[in-house]
Amino acid sequence: MPSPLQSASFYAQLLQHISGLYPDANEDLIVGAITGEFDRGELRSPSPNVELWSEADCMLITYGDSIVAPDEAPLVTLKRFLSDHIKDTISSVHILPFCPFSSDDGFAVIDYMRVNDELGEWEDITAIADSYRLMADLVVNHVSSQSEWFQNYTQGKEPGASWFFEANAGDDLSQVVRPRASPLLRPTETPDGMRHVWCTFSHDQIDLDFRNPQVLLQFLRVIRLYLEHGVRIFRLDAIGFLWKEPGTTCLHLPQTHEVVRLLRCVLDRFAPGTILITETNVPNHENLTYFGNRNEAHVIYNFSLAPLLVHALLTGTTEYLKRWMMSMPPAPLGCTYLNFTASHDGIGMRPAEGLLSDDEQLQMIEAIRRFGGRISTRRGADGSERVYELNVSLFDALKGTVHGEDDWQVDRFMCSQTVMLGLEGIPAIYIHSLLATSNDEEGLNRTGHNRSINRHKWDDELLRKQLSDSSTNQAIVSNELLRRVHIRSQQPSFHPSATQFTLQLTEPFFAFWRQSQDRSQSIFCIHNMTAEIQTLRLADLNLISLNQWRDLLTNSTFDDLTESIAVQPYQCLWIANS
C-alpha cells in the first residue's frame, strides 16, 4: 500500500494536471471521481519491480480476425495460431481495435466496453493476455457516428449531448493539420438546430471534446475495464489531434500533452508496470516531444524508419537512412522506441518530410505503384493535397527496386526485418510481414479503401498448408524471421536501452554498433542494401583482436580480422564477440 506521503504527492500531482486542463471546473470533484474509479477493488497489474522491457521483447501486430476458420471465433483461432506457431518467441501481441465498429476496420468505435461479437468475447481477450503481454488501442480522438454517445448528441441527451467538438461559421480553421482530404466539418441536426461537428478522419468518426471533463472520466473507465481483462500496453491512437483550438494547427497542443501526462500519472499509480505508447504519425521532431520529461509516453513509434528503410532498399542508397540514424537521440532513461516497418495502415510518408527530397519521394512512389501499391493523400494547411501514405503489402513493396522487379524479393524483405530487429528499441512485426502476405487486390476491390490492400484475412486451413510447405514464401519468411527473433532475444546488446552508434561504412552498407549495458558484449550489425555482392573489410570495424568474433546469424567465425569478406545481396551480419 502506498504511504500517506505518497498518496498526498499523487493527489497533488493529479490536481495539477486537472488544473491545467480544467481551470474553471471543480478540480477536487474530478480528482475524487478518478481516484474513486480506480480505488474500487484490486487490479491485475504487472509487478512494479519487473523491468519494463528487455532484449527478449518483440511484438506481433494483428487484427483479431487476420486468421479465420469456419464456425470458430477469430480470437480463438488467433490464440491457437499464437500457441502453435509463435509459442514464446514473441512476447507481446497488439490486437488492433476489437470493439464493435462502423468503419475504418475498427477505428470508428461504437462501444468501447464490448468485444465485437464477430471476433469473440472478453474471455478470449483475457486468454491471450494470460500468455502474452497484450496491447490494446485506446481510440480517444473520435467515436463512431453510430455510437450511443453520438446518437444522444443528436437528441440532446447525456451522456453525449456535450461530448462532441463543434465549430462555428466564423472560426478560423485555415491552419488545421489533418491526415485526410475530406471536409473537416459535418453538418448535424440537433434539438438546438444545425451544428457542425469536427471530423479529423471521416464523417463516420466524430471528434470528442475533451474540454468536457466527463469525456476524460469516461475514457478512464474504459482503461480500468481493459486493465481488468489483462491489457498491459495502451496505444493512444491519433493522440496528437485530441485538443482543438480554432486559429491553431489543432495538433500537439499543450493540453494534449497534459492529457497524456495525466494518463501516465494514473497508470503509474494504479497499475505500475503498464506501458503507454503514443501513436503520432508525424515528422520526427514532433514525434519525439511525446516522451515529455520522461513523464508522458513510455514508448513512441519510430515512424521515420519505415519510409527511409524502404527507400534505401528500393534505391540502394543509404545516405538518408544514415543521416536520420545519426540525428536520432537515444531514448530518455525509462523510455524507448517501438520500431516497425509495416502496419495495418500504409507506409507513412509524412515522417519522411524534411528527410527525403520531393524527387526521392516521387521515385519511391512510382516504384510502389509498379508493384501494385496505392497512394493516399492528406490536405495541407494551405489546402493542397500531399502524399500521406503508401498503401501496399511490405512484402510486395520490396519485390524489386526502382529499376523494376527481380529475384531478390525474399532476401530484400528479410534484410528490412533484420535492420528493424537490431535497432535501439522494441521491434514490432505486422502479422502480414511475418506471413509474407502479398497485396490483397480482392479485399481492395471489395471495400474500395486503399488500406484494405494490406489487411488480408487468411483462411486458417490454407495458412496452415502454406506454413507446412517449406517451399512457400510464408514458410521461408516466417521460419527465418522467428529464428532471427529468437537469436536476438538472447543478446544483451539488443536490449532496447543498449548503446547504439551508426557506422560509417561505404555506401552500399547500412551498419550500426550495439553494446550491452554492462559493456560485456558488442554486436556489429551490417546490411548489404543492394542486389550486388559487396566487399567488407573487417579492419574497417576495428574489431578487438583479443575477442573471438562470429556472425550470430550463420554461426561462422572470423579468425583473420584483416581479411575481406564477400557479403551477398541483401545479406545481414550480426558480428558479435560473445
Assess whether 237 carries a catalytic annotation. yes
Residue 337 in grid coordinates: 522506441
* Beta-sheet strands, E only, within 250-383: 275-278, 299-301, 336-340, 347-348, 374-379
User: Is-cis flag, bond preceding 159, omega within 30?
Assistant: yes
The reply to whether 305 sits in an annotated binding site is no
Chain centroid, CA 449 distance in Å: 21
List Cβ neighbours of 114 (8 Å cut-off, separation of 6 or more): 99, 100
As a whole number of angstroms, the distance between CA 450 and CA 444 comes to: 6
- Given the residues 237, 440, 460, 551, select the one marked as catalytic: 237
| Helix (H), strand (E) at residue 523 | strand 522-528
Report helix, strand and coil shares of the chain as percent, to nearest 5.
35, 20, 40
Residue 106 near residue 97 (C-beta atoms within 8 A): yes
Question: What sign does the dihedral 509-410-306-82 (CA atoms) show?
Answer: negative
**Is there a binding annotation on residue 550?**
no
Tell me: is residue 236 an annotated ligand-binding position: yes
Contact 90, 58 (CB under 8 A): yes
- The type of residue at 323 is R
- Identify the CA nearest to 247 among candidates 385, 446, 381, 49: 381
Q: Are 109 and 144 in contact (CB under 8 A)?
A: yes
CA distance 578 to 560: 17
CB 455 within 8 A of CB 105: yes
Residue 527, annotated as binding a ligand: no
Which amino acid is located at 262 in the chain? L
Torsion from C-alpha of 391, 396, 398, 400, nearest 10 degrees: -120
The count of other CB atoms within 10 Å of the CB of residue 480 is: 15
Known catalytic residues are 237
What are the binding residues?
A: 104, 142, 235-237, 344-345, 451
What are the binding residues for substrate?
A: 104, 142, 235-237, 344-345, 451
